[in-house]
Amino acid sequence: MLYKPGICNIGKNEIRKRYALGASGFILTAILFYLLYVYNFSTLWFVVLVFPMYLGFEGLYQGYFHFCAGFGMSGRYDFRGTRNEQGRVKNKKQHMQDLVRSMWIHVYSVWSAVFVTIVIVFLQVIFF
């Protein structure tokens, strides 16, 4: 894989790390949901699910798009998955493309987490 501004800034090892981050976020969401449900917390408490769910979607989208938002914002790329193999984006236009992709990944993650949390809270009100 090669660095492509706004398209791809991580390799296979980093992609796996992003998917692991996403899985961790979704697992944490499920555990938190279970605890809130079992201990009969009020429906309003289910809104806190948005935070681990955001983490899940952030990892999922970064892995899917082969693009680390943190690297994009800091002007870096890494295709080996080791800190010594990182490169720097020196071209301002390319860095701007990376910044735009990073912001979109954050926006997708926030809106996805908010939407799914609203659905969960809505279902919680209707069925439980």
pLDDT tens for each residue of 105-122: 999 999 999 999 999 999
pLDDT tens for each residue of 60-100: 999 999 999 999 999 999 988 766 668 999 999 999 999 99
**Distance (Å, whole) CA 101 – CA 95:** 10
**Distance (Å, whole) CA 37 – CA 39:** 6
Res 1: pLDDT:
76
Res 84: pLDDT:
64
- Using alpha carbons, list the distances in angstroms from residue 79 to 3, 14, 70, 82, 96: 8, 7, 14, 8, 20
What stretches of the chain show up as alpha helix (H) in DSSP?
12-38, 50-65, 69-74, 92-127
Looking at residue 23, its amino acid is A
Q: Tell which residue, 20, 11, 5, 15, has the closest CA to residue 85.
A: 11
Q: Tell which residue, 26, 53, 47, has the closest CA to residue 113.
A: 53
